[in-house]
């Protein structure tokens, strides 16, 4: 039997307030690996060793290069709008004295979002790129673990990013908000 999906207009989208309440009352388990994307609860994929290692290398690199100018958050929520609260692998955000204890960072507080992709490459380059662009995230990077490439997205518009680059090997890029902070692709993947 073939099931025809319902049109999106027939879906009841979940707000971030609904999502938080579902966690509070136990509908979502504390250890459940999910995130809210465009009003829908999406399962997050398990992370392999290469994914985890790259995430940790990038965290340490960004902290070393940027110090107290930023707060580097790992797999913590970003409040994009009423219906989206993704948990990017890395978010480089404005420093906050209480480490965002009162509210998750909003787009205007984000310098850079990084996703590390192996099995999620299509989602990260498609759905998430469009989501981040619509929210006005000015600098979005996707590290492709399989091809050892860096996809850089800039110039966000409501309908997507207007500028996209694919870097590899010895090519390097500056973080848009910190033009003196240069990162080489090979260094991230630890390729000599």
pLDDT tens digits, one per residue of 17-67: 999 999 999 999 888 889 999 999 998 888 889 899 999 999 999 999 999
Residues whose CB falls within 8 Å of the CB of residue 30, separated by 6 or more in sequence, listed in order: 23
pLDDT tens digits, one per residue of 99-114: 999 999 999 999 999 9
pLDDT tens digits, one per residue of 122-151: 999 999 999 999 999 999 999 999 999 999
- Is 22 within a domain? no
- Is 184 within a domain? yes
Here the CATH number for the domain that contains residue 60 is 3.90.1570.10
Phi and psi angles of residue 71, each rounded to the nearest 5 degrees, phi first: -120, 125
Count the domains in the chain: 1
- Is 87 within a domain? yes
- Is 36 within a domain? no
Residue 52: give the domain boundaries.
47-189
- Is 56 within a domain? yes
């Amino acid at each position: 039997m073939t099931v025809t999906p319902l049109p999106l207009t027939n879906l009841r989208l979940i707000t971030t307030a609904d999502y938080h309440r579902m966690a509070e009352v136990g509908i979502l388990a504390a250890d459940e690996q999910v995130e809210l994307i465009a009003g829908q609860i999406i399962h997050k994929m398990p992370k392999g060793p290469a994914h985890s290692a790259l995430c940790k290398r990038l965290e340490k690199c960004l902290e070393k290069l940027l110090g107290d100018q930023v707060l580097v958050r790992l797999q913590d929520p970003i409040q994009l709008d009423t219906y989206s609260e993704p948990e990017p692998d890395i978010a480089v955000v404005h420093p906050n004295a209480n480490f965002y204890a009162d509210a998750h960072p909003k787009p205007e507080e984000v310098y850079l979002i990084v996703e590390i992709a192996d099995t999620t490459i299509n989602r990260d380059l498609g759905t998430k790129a469009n989501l981040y662009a619509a929210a006005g995230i000015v600098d979005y990077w996707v590290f492709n673990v399989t091809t050892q490439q860096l996809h850089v997205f800039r110039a966000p518009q409501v309908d997507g990013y207007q500028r996209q680059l694919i870097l590899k090997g010895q090519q390097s890029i500056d973080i848009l908000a910190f033009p003196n902070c240069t990162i080489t692709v090979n260094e991230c993947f630890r390729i000599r």
